[in-house]
A and B are shown apart, each in its own frame.
Chain A
């Protein structure tokens, strides 16, 4: 009798565990829900890229943030240097090495800059695939214009990546195998950026960027 009761109790318990396997996070939305109409696609696939222009993280953001693009372009030249004040600002020789061009492949801040730039490039590629996958929700003009704007932002980030690192891989799609990623020559990267911008310029808004807060052709 006892055995039978145990078995009866075990069944709902098993079902209980099975339902745990089905996950529905309450604090996160499913990706498909944010690309359900043209407005949302623009907002979350195109406009969201402007979030990455600036940053509050070290080594991220196109300008200003500490140990990022600005520091590596300014403190490496005669324009500015960061001296040691007492024991402060020695920082393991970081600023001295930047000024004396003594960095190497193990430089963590430099690696973080690389990760930041390629993160935005990967997200831009993802946006392009989102626009492509949701063409049915967009008019032909919308699909064309959204794609143009994303490509313009991606070109901007490729420009900084090329300026910082020179021979960077050109990855233009979200579904690329790691084996297909190869280093490109600086010349090729420059031509890629230049042609991308020439291609998309006529499709961008005829406004001043500061008015719209987006990429335009003015």
Chain B
């Protein structure tokens, strides 16, 4: 993966822990069973995004051509190799700051506080230029991440007949793209500061000014860079179109990449939460599992495509489309919606049948509902789309999601 002379690297890091609980001022504080402060800083090598053999002069089949009228398989290079490629450590600094842990009275209440701040460089494949077809450069694709996580877990109630278990995770995160330039054979190469990574697709939506999600230097990785829609305007024939604002005030509305677009939000959530609560009363128990995300947006491409009456009757449209009577397929922030949601993944009700038998050790009857429901303001089928992985689907709901289905199941578990 790296050049032959760069197969070894040195990535030092250091960290320390301070066990506060053992200090004199805390040693006698009874409700606290543990308090630790950890901090570390260092460098980390990163091979993310690099495929194997990029540094070697290897060839593959390029096709079949006629030579003296007979078809012949030819071989050739598929990309320029970068023999000096290395995982540098001069810039790939990874810090971790203030990583603290707090525990109170084991099993009644616990909390973890975590704060991470790290930056890393990813390596990516550069497009061709006038001198090479495609190569792997060590791109300084800096990407600062900050994360604060709060986790709570404990048993607020713990009695013979009654028990309550609560698990909660809350994580705040942010990231920023710092630079997209790198080096190849000693020459510095740079990529455009604004690059599209995700677009709408499908009939009538293929190519052109359909880009939605971009990577922009100085912004979080994956932002919506869209034209601004001021509202709807009525045509003479009674249909409506999107009123796109001339953001750069040059007297002309241009929705192409370099035109009237602005950063309208980010595709990755700012807050992620997960929770698991279970409650037992005597032999009955109930547990619920939830997850959610906040602070991100979703482009409702499905809504855009199936609202445009231009498609009808060749394609079906949404129920309210005839009434809205929009005949326009252009992308704009009109279809950018908040992606905040809280999803109830599982709800389980159960009963442990009290037994006095010697052959049966336990008998449990339970009922489970999966995908009980989602609380969200998002108007599409589900807000649970790809909001995390940087690829062409990130942040875009585009006619590709199958509706989530709710499953009911009954269970009987017997232990002998």
Residues of A within 8 A of B (CB): 21, 23, 25, 27-32, 34, 42-45, 47-48, 50-51, 67, 84-95, 97, 104-109, 115, 118-119, 121-123, 126, 169, 171, 176-179, 181, 211-214
Q: Which of B58-106 contact A (CB under 8 A)?
A: 58-60, 62-69, 72, 74-77
Closest to B7 in A: A21
Q: Are B208 and A44 in contact (CB under 8 A)?
A: no
Report the minimum CB–CB distance from B241 to chain A (whole Å). Answer: 12
Contact of B130 among A27, A90, A97, A118 (CB under 8 A): A118
Stretch of B34-42, B279-287, B289-297, B307-315 that contacts chain A: B307-315
22 CB-based A-B contacts, threshold 8 Å: A21-B7, A25-B58, A43-B67, A47-B74, A84-B310, A87-B305, A87-B310, A87-B314, A91-B204, A91-B207, A92-B331, A93-B209, A94-B208, A94-B209, A97-B256, A108-B196, A115-B127, A119-B128, A123-B77, A123-B133, A178-B130, A214-B66
Q: For B412, list chain A residues within 8 Å (CB).
A: none
Closest to A112 in B: B127
Q: Are B67 and A88 in contact (CB under 8 A)?
A: no
Q: Is B258 an interface residue (CB 8 A)?
A: yes
Residues of B within 8 A of A (CB): 1, 7, 52-53, 56-60, 62-69, 72, 74-77, 127-133, 187, 189, 196, 199-200, 203-210, 255-258, 305, 308, 310-312, 314-315, 329-331
Q: Are A213 and B66 in contact (CB under 8 A)?
A: yes
- Tell me the total A-B contact number using a CB cutoff of 8 A: 167
Closest to A121 in B: B130
Q: Are A31 and B205 in contact (CB under 8 A)?
A: no
Q: Are B75 and A44 in contact (CB under 8 A)?
A: yes
Closest to A39 in B: B67
Contact of A28 among B60, B129, B187, B308 (CB under 8 A): B60
Q: For B200, list chain A residues within 8 Å (CB).
A: 92
Closest to A105 in B: B258
Q: For B132, list chain A residues within 8 Å (CB).
A: 122
A47-B72, A118-B130, A119-B133 known; A87-B329 Cβ under 8 A: yes
Q: Are B207 and A86 in contact (CB under 8 A)?
A: no
Contact of A43 among B74, B131, B133, B189 (CB under 8 A): B74
Q: Are B53 and A28 in contact (CB under 8 A)?
A: yes
Report the minimum CB–CB distance from B280 to chain A (whole Å). Answer: 46
Report the minimum CB–CB distance from B8 to chain A (whole Å). Answer: 8
Q: Are A211 and B130 in contact (CB under 8 A)?
A: no
Report the minimum CB–CB distance from A45 to chain B (whole Å). Answer: 8
